[in-house]
């Protein structure tokens, strides 16, 4: 009997603050584009920019 594991790709977005360089990884949201301003930084009064969008393979 052959068992196959189901693979799922989970998308993530990495935001980086331009002022304090804090990086935050979160789940990808529709409308995320590289190098666009995303949100206000949680640590300072800077603005975060989307630095990276990637996917990780998860096996079930």
pLDDT score at 2: 66
pLDDT at residue 4 above 70? no
pLDDT score at 12: 98
* pTM, to two decimals: 0.80
pLDDT score at 30: 95
Domain ranges of the chain: 1-33
What are the structure tokens assigned to 14, written together? 């990495």
8-57 pLDDT per residue, tens: 999 999 999 999 999 999 999 999 999 999 999 989 989 999 999 999 99
Higher-confidence position of 7 and 28: 28
- Environment class of residue 21 by beta-carbon count within 10 Å: exposed (0-12), middle (13-18) or buried (19+)? exposed
In 3D space, the residue among 54, 60, 47 whose CA is nearest the CA of residue 5 turns out to be 60
């Amino acid at each position: 009997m052959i068992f196959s594991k189901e693979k799922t790709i989970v998308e993530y977005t990495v935001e980086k603050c331009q002022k304090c360089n804090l990086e935050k990884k979160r789940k990808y949201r529709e409308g995320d584009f590289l190098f666009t301003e995303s949100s206000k930084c949680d640590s300072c009064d800077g603005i975060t920019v989307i630095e990276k969008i990637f996917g990780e393979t998860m096996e079930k």
